[in-house]
Chain A
Amino acid sequence: MRRILLAGLSVLALSLLPVAGHAQGTVKIGLIMPYSGQFADAATQMDDGIKLYLKQHGDKLGGMNVEIIRKDTGGINPPVAKRLAQELVTRDNVDIIAGFVLTPNALAAADVSSEAKKFMVVMNAATAIITTKSPYMVRTSLTVPQLTETLGTWAEKRGLKKVYTMVTDYGPGIDAEGAFQKGFKDAGGDIVGSVRMAVQNPDFTAYVQRAKDLDPQGIFVMIPGGAQPGAFGKALAGVGVDPKKTQVMGQLEIADEHALASMGDIAEGIITAAHYDYNHKSKMNADFVKAYNADFKRNPDFFSIGGYDGMHAIDAALKKSGGKTDGESLISAAKGMSWESPRGPISIDPETRDIIQTVYIDKVEKVGGRLVNVQIDAIPNVKDPIKAAMKK
């Protein structure tokens, strides 16, 4: 057994030799995402954002050729995500690991980034603590508290005093509940009740009825994107909660394009905190949406922008590091970087390596017969409040 082990090790050592220098001027990026399964649409949109950035930049990042290797986790599966990250590093010799729609997978892969000293770009996964798990990681998406605590403060200042919160009983839901309540209460508001809802939940009627019984001025809701926002909208309509009278608000998933389409008119008046919406008014975003539609026949969403800006971060970091692809060079290049994204001005906090961005407050309105998110306020330069609090 021992001899075989030794023989195996020597073969392994030999096979590792060519690692030292792969083709000059090529950067290898491994993408780990849930391409199949329940979260496949998020991965599709993110991948399309990545493709668009590469296409617009002549398939080069920082002047280097790019090789992309895609790996599927098939949903929430940290052991597989970690294995894929290991294989990308040890077998495919990638320089950078990126993607990550889901928090558990990002947390698992972060160990690999930290151990192998590889630059890692989180393009969606939104739990606050993720970036603390590897010193070589940046995030180009959002943190849940960044949006929801901001929304809590904003809602109180806009005159809501009594709010009910309903969140799905899972990581992001619990984070959002805490952050919203903190922002809202610190500003002086009163939480009149709260509920945590089952993760597998095809029908929201019972929960919405409960909220309505207390007759709050507003309802804060945080549920996973996908099928649930539509079901939530139907429950609002069925129970008779009018978002224009009882202010319904939440994070951007509840009013994304597909959610609005399946909710119908009941969605009018819903307020969301968002870091991106395809209706954002700027020349850059208009061009982005147009190019995205030309290639993929649909509008970009926040997964797309996470992927797009993630590629920009890699591009800019490579330029700044002069083509050095080791984790140390890339992360020091990425720290403090700032640029103009289709979503507005964003930057990477040099201390936390997390994103600093404008939080938009959007309201669902009917424009030209279609329901869209209309920006009604913007709070610039928001940092992740959790890590800011940790520092104190």
Chain B
Amino acid sequence: MAEEVSSQMNSLSISETNPSSSATISLVSGDDIVFKVEPTIAKEMETVQSFIDETDGKITTIPLPNISSHDLPYVIEYCEKSIAGKITKEFEAEFVKKLNNEEVKELFLAANYLNIKKLLDFLSQVIADRIANKSVEYVRRYFGIENDFTPEEEAKLREELAWTFTGVDPDDEDEN
């Protein structure tokens, strides 16, 4: 995977906009790796597109400080499939199989930042599936939530909500 990615990218500094390559858009990840994509891909990313629109298309190098070079290829792959109208259940199943819990969360944040509705909805469903029927402790770990209830408060709440906890699966081994 790492080699595959590195073949597609060249390290450029953000300010170096090359006017001859105005047809393609350069997306610069948080760790300064440049990904060249077709303008149609950029259109899928609302945040990127609005940046391009605001500058009347003059700026084609977009810094994405919140997205790592590890996550960006996944986002681009999904957008490419989306444009080609090839988002099928099979593709999504394969796509998500490659991702561990941490990567799903990272991609979710990326999709949210880039404002890609389809990807965001898809990953929301993935996250929902991964926390479905899991114990409270598991979901707390999953989201990194600190329990701020006193033991008494929690016991009372658990009692009130007891009927919602039927059918909880045993915790999986944590992937991370």
Q: Tell whether A pairs with B.
A: no
